[in-house]
Structure 1
Amino acid sequence: MLKFAAPAKLNLTLEVLGKRPDGFHEIRSVLQAVSLCDTLSFEKSENTIVTCDLPGWSVEASLVTKAVDLLRETAGFSGGVNIRVDKHIPLMSGLGGDSSDAAVVLRGLNELGELGLTRGELVDLAAQLGSDVVFFLYGGTALAEGRGDKITPLPPISPMSVVIVVPGIPREPGKTGRMYAALNPGHYTDGSITSSVIEIIRSSGKFYPRLVFNTFENIAFRDFTLRRVHVEHLLKLGAADVYLAGSGPALFTMFEEEEKARDLFTRCKMQGMEAYLVRTL
């Protein structure tokens, strides 16, 4: 049996430069893997069975199944496999859980089936599954460009503690696409915010929470179910700054001192919030 961790991600920056001729949006984003992880197990079998005990998780809708099918169609993967998905990353939260799981399927079946696919070949397959999937073949800290599928690894940042909170609001399938569609040219930037952050990371190895930028914050609290009250609640509990994770609805705040992060996490849990205390990877 093979077992792999599938980490969540945060967008430390997320700039949208404009809409592309193919209908996608051109982005520049600094992505950071964190220690909140799903776990996927692989074992050879006569048939292919994918299981997950998390309520609301759908094998038909998941990229896990699509990744298996893609490897059958393009890479000669044959035979059966039992895949167990132990979910810890909340569904449809902006943290990239399904994309991370799909990347692990590509890696896991490449090893289990002895397919011999190179990193470059896996990247090409990952891009067919979704824009975020490519990043999870790299992990760590990285620059995402194009529609999010062009990845350049960056030096690791100094370890930071992160408190992630998922507000108790309905999760919306297809929300990311609707958020991109809701952007207007006034929300577009030229990529220089991300360039400045990269320069700081490369010169100092540090990331400062005040540098977080996410253009979706322009619309997330206005046109969607997330509200400013969710941010204000965290600020009252002691968060210095609160940011939207990807397309949300997850929110996060970052600390250099783990003790401060743990204190906020404890207060969030005492309030009955869905909260996670994690570290950057």
Structure 2
Amino acid sequence: MLTLLAPAKVNLSLEVLYRRKDGYHELRSIIQSLSLCDRLSFSPSKTVHISSDSQDWQTDLSLVSKAVELFSERCGQNTGVNLKIAKRIPLVSGLGGDSSCAAAVLKGLNKLWGCGYPCWRLMEIGAELGSDVPFFIMGGTAMMEGRGETVTPLPTLTQMWAVLLVPALDMPADKTAALYRNLRPDSFTSGEISDKLLESICQGKLSLSLCFNAFEKVAFELFPELVKYRWQFLEAGAYQISLAGAGPTLFTLLKDKNTAEKIYHNLCQKGHQAYLVSTLGPLD
């Protein structure tokens, strides 16, 4: 049996530069893997069987089944697989769980079926599945550009601690598309924010004040209950709060573990779904 981890992520910066002629948006984003991980177990089989320990997870709505089909087509394999997924990353949370699992599927099948594709080839295949998938092939700290297909590894951050607050909100199935539709001209930026953040990372002193998410303003307008959760996060002791991806998860990033633990426990005492995790380097 082969077992791989599929880590969550947060966008330290997420800039939307403009809408492209092909209908996609040009992005510039610095992404960071987290130690909150799903676990995928692969074993040989004559047929494809996919299961999860989460009752809310549905195979037909996930990129996982699409990843199996696409990889089978690309490598010309008709071999099956028995794939079991232990879900730990909350669904539809903005933490990239589905994209991360899809990337793990590509890496896992590449090993299980002996295809021997290099990382860049898996990233090409991943780009056909979704914007975040190429990043998860690599993981760690990276700059993502284009619509997600261009990923550049960055120096691994000195370990930091993230507190995640997952609001109890019902998100529409087209959440990300709705956020894109509601972007306004003042939502677009030049990429300079990510460049400044990149400079601070390369200097070994991440400046948290540079964290930015183009969706944040729109998300708080579309989902006004987020305001309440942000205030409760502040009351728990956080001082700098960002939106994770397309949300609704909110996060704060800290260098001091004790402070992170206090914020986490304060949130848990109020009955919130919260996680205390650390930043993560690239996975093999």
Which moves more between the two structures, 247-256 or 217-226? 217-226
> Is the 1:226–1:249 contact (alpha carbons within 8 Å) kept by the matching residues of 2?
no
Equivalence for 2:219? 220
> Is the 2:124–2:149 contact (alpha carbons within 8 Å) kept by the matching residues of 1?
no
Residue identity (%): 45
Equivalence for 1:72? 72
Match runs of 1:1-281 below 5 Å: 1-203=1-203, 205-224=204-223, 226-281=225-280
**TM-aligned CA deviation for residue 196 of structure 1:** 0.5
> Is the 1:155–1:202 contact (alpha carbons within 8 Å) kept by the matching residues of 2?
yes
> Is the 1:161–1:258 contact (alpha carbons within 8 Å) kept by the matching residues of 2?
yes
Distance 1:115 1:84 in 2: 21
3-state SS, counterpart of residue 129 of structure 1: coil
Letter in 1 for 2:205: K
Task: Write out the 4+ residue segments of structure 1 that deviate beyond 3 Å after TM superposition.
Answer: none
TM-score by length of 1: 0.97
Distance 1:168 1:219 in 2: 19
**TM-aligned CA deviation for residue 226 of structure 1:** 4.3
3-state SS, counterpart of residue 56 of structure 2: coil
**TM-aligned CA deviation for residue 225 of structure 1:** 5.3
3-state SS, counterpart of residue 94 of structure 2: coil
Residues 200-230 of structure 1 deviation map (CA, whole Å, 9 limit, x = unaligned): 1112x23232221011112111123542111
**TM-aligned CA deviation for residue 26 of structure 1:** 0.5
Residues 94-113 of structure 1 deviation map (CA, whole Å, 9 limit, x = unaligned): 00000000000000000000
> Is the 2:238–2:263 contact (alpha carbons within 8 Å) kept by the matching residues of 1?
yes
Seen in structure 2, the aligned counterparts of structure 1 residues 138 and 131 have a Cα distance that, compared at 3 Å, is same
Distance 1:227 1:273 in 2: 13
> Is the 1:30–1:143 contact (alpha carbons within 8 Å) kept by the matching residues of 2?
yes
**TM-aligned CA deviation for residue 189 of structure 1:** 0.5
**TM-aligned CA deviation for residue 271 of structure 1:** 1.0
3-state SS, counterpart of residue 102 of structure 1: helix
**Structure 1 segments unaligned to the other structure (5+ residues):** none
Aligned residue pair count: 280
TM-score by length of 2: 0.96
Task: Let me know the Cα RMSD of the aligned residues.
Answer: 1.0
> Is the 1:76–1:115 contact (alpha carbons within 8 Å) kept by the matching residues of 2?
no
